[in-house]
């Protein structure tokens, strides 16, 4: 014997992982029979354990592709692996299962997972059993044929099961037709189905179960198969006594069941031996007993495998050539691994990060912070100065040479102090740190959501998660540090003439920008109204309106009771109201007008202040701060930005730039195991395709080598047979 079956079963497993259709070209034994014919009992007797799903309702709903692998018992005892175990190749997480009760439970669950409306599914369950007590065989258990349709097993289901069985009993498979001895063979659906696809019975073995239920001479007649001859013959068996009682069923649970082989053999010995050996003895040329069945199956499968060898070798050769060609054309034979893809991805991620961090140089950060603080300055100026009507006097004061700084109105000095304090105490530490951290966050998020991380949502999430964690951790610390370092400015800000000049220049520039902004807005309204003349008219009207409103409010406040009775009736124009142009403007235009009035007042004031900033007084130096709060605050903002940048750089940026690449390594590269890396790589469809094709080619090559070896072996043995 060449042990072809064993080797081809290995090949079949490999092929199965490449492509189901090719694997099916290697012959397998397909077990068919009607419900309760004793199909499960036969399979369990072959395996030696009770492991198939049991139940009143039809429990086999999916084909079970059972691969039996004979493991020499001495090899098993010398190693730590168990001698007998099952493996579900499609559920690698379950590992080697030594408890046949667990296998039974798993098979039951897998069968019950078929939705009831489908009833049967052609998606096979794969199960391997390794044991020193099993022969090398591949067996496929199929749902039992339904003979009589009933309420819960309708005609439709019957057709479905027939269809499923038909798919499996094709060539080159061997059909194991299970029939019970106590049922007329003429009524056996298994034999009927077999005859349809294998009329000469060249690849069908009949198994006659329940031989103990008929008279021995009757049983012997059936097994001789004279009525319905099969080339491969019939084997008679007695697999199981009927269940003793219902109690047995209920206490089953997960308890390990004893090995069934011994019991079956004893029962068969009892039945076929002794008195009955005159019907079943060796000289009677009938095949009986599970042991005979096993040997018969091995022989038949081996022969069938041998005749399939050339066919499958040719088929695999063609597939391999196609795969190799595709690999050459699509990938120029470039090999990749999940690990290499992972490493490349991480390298690219770090490189992109490094490239982006160039945006965070000190000058860049300082200019960002300056921008933010300048805005704060403008807000403070607006609140404290621009809304204060006395600000227009401030310019005149500045021009008044007779007043020394000491003689200046304490009002303005006090105002400047307030303004400076508003700026330094506005939460600069928090805001500036927040601004930079937000910049970093956006940067990381844009990397983490860009290619190729669009394919890797969970890794992308990890990146954002740990980068946010670093930022969160550093932010509080940095903000405190910055706040601490700008503390002196909260009490006093010293500046020299050069700093003053820079600040004054910048303030002037900012005012220029602000003036332009106001101008633009005013132009917009002018455009909407259709000309400068119209705008001026509207502004004049609104100004009058507002003046009148102010006066009315005053009157009302002093008018007391009178005011309530004088309440406006709709449509009625109050005395003294500027009625003349009242119908010239729509309500929307009035709103625009109010806005325009504000803008033109603001523009006026800004221009006055811009002029003041250019004045000789302001140019004198920091001792003129009270006249030029704009310049003073700009210098303060500058100092704040400088100090903040320094500490943000040390506490936040440098730390982040150091930690981030290291976290990438420890949280992704080293944290993922082989399986996870494989899964990661396959999330990218391009990589998946590449890996799949490469794997297919590799496996086909491996299979091809094994097949070639077997073909040569077969040739040699034929040659030696011929010469010997």
Site string for ligand GDP, 87-126 (x = CB under 6 A): ----------------------------------------
What's the closest the beta carbon of residue 246 comes to ligand GDP, in angstroms? 12
> Quick one: which segment of 33-41, 148-156, 360-368, 538-546 binds ligand GDP (CB under 6 A)?
33-41
**36 in contact with ligand GDP (CB under 6 A):** yes
| The CA-based dihedral angle spanning residues 325, 328, 333, 338, taken in that order and rounded to the nearest 10 degrees | -80
What's the closest the beta carbon of residue 217 comes to ligand GDP, in angstroms? 18
Per-residue H/E/C for 612-654: HHHCHHHHHCHHHCCCCHHHHHHHHHHHHHHHHHHHHHHHHHH
Whole-angstrom distance, CA of residue 336 vs CA of residue 681 = 10
What's the closest the beta carbon of residue 185 comes to ligand GDP, in angstroms? 16
Q: Which is nearer to ligand GDP, 238 or 378 (CB)?
A: 238
Asked if 97 and 170 count as a contact pair (C-beta separation under 8 A), the reply is no
Q: Tokens standing for 189?
A: 């659906």
Q: Which is nearer to ligand GDP, 178 or 447 (CB)?
A: 178
What's the closest the beta carbon of residue 78 comes to ligand GDP, in angstroms? 36
Q: Which is nearer to ligand GDP, 79 or 250 (CB)?
A: 250
Site string for ligand GDP, 239-258 (x = CB under 6 A): xxxxx---------------
Give alpha helix (H) positions in 457-531: 457-485, 497-529
Q: Which of 648, 677, 21 is nearest to 364 (CA)?
A: 648
Whole-angstrom distance, CA of residue 463 vs CA of residue 448 = 6
Q: Which of 320, 324, 321, 345 is nearest to 686 (CA)?
A: 345
Q: Which is nearer to ligand GDP, 39 or 370 (CB)?
A: 39
Site string for ligand GDP, 136-165 (x = CB under 6 A): --------x---------------------
Q: Which is nearer to ligand GDP, 216 or 593 (CB)?
A: 216
The H or E element that residue 180 is part of is strand 174-180
Three-state DSSP state, 283: helix
**290 in contact with ligand GDP (CB under 6 A):** no
Instruction: Determine the size of the site formed for ligand GDP (CB under 6 A).
Output: 19
Please give the residues from 186 up to 245 whose contact with ligand GDP meets the rule CB under 6 A. 209-210, 212-213, 238-243
Secondary structure of the chain: what % helix, strand, coil (to 5)? 65, 5, 25
Asked if 636 and 424 count as a contact pair (C-beta separation under 8 A), the reply is yes
Q: Which is nearer to ligand GDP, 38 or 225 (CB)?
A: 38
Kindly report the number of other CB atoms within 10 A of residue 550's CB atom: 10
Q: Tokens standing for 615?
A: 């004045």
**550 in contact with ligand GDP (CB under 6 A):** no
Report the length, in residues, of the chain: 724
Q: What are the contacts of 406-415 at 24+ separation with CB within 8 A?
A: 408/626, 408/627, 412/626, 412/627, 413/626, 415/384, 415/385, 415/629
> Quick one: which segment of 30-38, 332-340, 543-551, 704-712 binds ligand GDP (CB under 6 A)?
30-38
> Quick one: which segment of 35-43, 296-304, 381-389, 597-605 binds ligand GDP (CB under 6 A)?
35-43
Site string for ligand GDP, 37-76 (x = CB under 6 A): xxxxx-----------------------------------
What's the closest the beta carbon of residue 207 comes to ligand GDP, in angstroms? 10
> Quick one: which segment of 32-40, 158-166, 347-355, 638-646 binds ligand GDP (CB under 6 A)?
32-40
Q: Would you tell me which residues interact with ligand GDP (CB under 6 A)?
A: 33, 35-41, 144, 209-210, 212-213, 238-243
């Amino acid at each position: 014997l060449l042990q072809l079956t064993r080797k081809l079963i290995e090949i079949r497993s490999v092929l199965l992982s490449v492509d189901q259709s090719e694997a099916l070209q290697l012959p397998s034994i397909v077990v068919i029979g009607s419900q309760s014919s004793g199909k499960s009992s036969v399979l369990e007797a072959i395996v030696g354990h009770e492991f198939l799903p049991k139940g009143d309702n039809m429990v086999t709903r999916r084909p079970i592709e059972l691969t039996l692998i004979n493991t020499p018992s001495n090899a098993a005892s010398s190693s730590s692996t168990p001698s007998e175990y099952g493996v579900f190749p499609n559920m690698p997480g379950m590992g080697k299962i030594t408890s046949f009760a667990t296998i039974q439970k798993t098979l039951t669950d897998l069968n019950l997972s078929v939705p009831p409306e489908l009833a049967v599914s052609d998606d096979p369950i794969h199960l391997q059993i390794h044991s020193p007590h099993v022969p090398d065989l591949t067996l496929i258990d199929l749902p039992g044929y339904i003979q009589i349709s009933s309420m819960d097993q309708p005609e439709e289901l019957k057709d479905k099961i027939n269809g499923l069985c038909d798919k499996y009993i094709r060539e080159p498979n061997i059909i194991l037709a299970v029939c019970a001895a106590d049922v007329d063979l003429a009524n056996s659906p298994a034999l009927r189905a077999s005859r349809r696809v294998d009329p000469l019975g060249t690849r069908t073995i009949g198994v006659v179960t329940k031989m103990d239920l008929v008279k021995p001479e009757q049983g012997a007649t059936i097994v001789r198969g004279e009525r319905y001859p099969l080339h491969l013959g019939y084997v008679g068996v007695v697999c199981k006594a009927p269940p003793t009682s219902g109690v047995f069923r209920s206490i089953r649970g997960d308890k390990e069941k004893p090995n069934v082989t011994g019991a079956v053999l004893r029962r068969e010995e009892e039945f076929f031996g002794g008195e009955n050996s005159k019907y079943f003895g060796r000289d009677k040329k009938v095949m009986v007993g599970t042991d005979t069945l096993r040997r018969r199956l091995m022989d038949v499968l081996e022969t069938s495998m041998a005749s399939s060898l050339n066919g499958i070798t040719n088929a695999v050769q063609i597939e391999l050539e196609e795969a190799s060609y595709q690999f050459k054309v699509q990938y120029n034979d470039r090999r990749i691994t999940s690990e290499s893809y992972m490493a490349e991805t991480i390298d690219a991620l770090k490189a992109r990060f490094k490239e982006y961090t160039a945006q965070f140089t000190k000058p860049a950060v300082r200019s960002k912070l300056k921008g933010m603080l300048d805005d704060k300055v403008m807000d403070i100026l607006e609140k404290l100065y621009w809304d204060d009507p006395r600000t227009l006097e401030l310019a005149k004061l500045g021009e008044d040479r007779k007043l020394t700084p000491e003689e200046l109105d304490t009002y303005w000095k006090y105002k400047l102090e307030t303004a400076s304090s508003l700026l330094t105490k506005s939460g600069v530490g928090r805001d500036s740190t927040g601004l930079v951290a937000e910049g970093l966050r956006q940067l990381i998020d844009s990397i983490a959501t860009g290619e190729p991380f669009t394919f890797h949502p969970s890794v992308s999430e990890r990146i954002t998660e740990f980068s946010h964690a670093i930022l969160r951790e550093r932010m509080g610390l940095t903000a405190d540090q910055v706040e601490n370092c700008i503390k002196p400015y909260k009490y006093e800000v010293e500046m020299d003439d050069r700093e003053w000049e820079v600040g004054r220049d910048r303030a002037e520039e900012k005012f220029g920008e602000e003036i332009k902004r106001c101008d633009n807005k005013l132009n917009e309204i002018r455009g909407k109204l259709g000309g400068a003349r119209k705008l001026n008219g509207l502004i004049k009207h609104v100004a009058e309106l507002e003046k009148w409103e102010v006066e009315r409010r005053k009157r009302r406040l002093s008018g007391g009771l009178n005011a309530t009775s004088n309440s406006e009736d709709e449509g009625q124009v109050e005395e003294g109201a500027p009625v003349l142009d009242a119908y010239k403007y729509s309500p929307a235009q009035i709103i625009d007008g109010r806005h325009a009035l504000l803008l033109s007042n603001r523009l006026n004031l800004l221009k006055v202040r811009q002029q003041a900033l250019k004045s000789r007084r302001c140019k004198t130096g920091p001792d003129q701060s009270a006249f030029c709060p704009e310049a003073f605050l700009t210098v303060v903002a500058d100092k704040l930005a400088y100090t903040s940048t320094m500490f943000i750089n040390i506490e936040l940026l440098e730390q982040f730039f150091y930690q981030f690449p290291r976290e990438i390594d420890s949280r992704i590269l080293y944290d993922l195991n082989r399986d996870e890396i494989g899964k990661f790589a396959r999330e990218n469809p391009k990589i998946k395709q590449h890996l799949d094709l490469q794997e297919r080619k590799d496996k086909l090559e491996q299979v091809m080598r094994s097949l070639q070896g077997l073909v040569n072996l077969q040739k040699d043995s034929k040659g030696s047979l011929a010469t010997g």
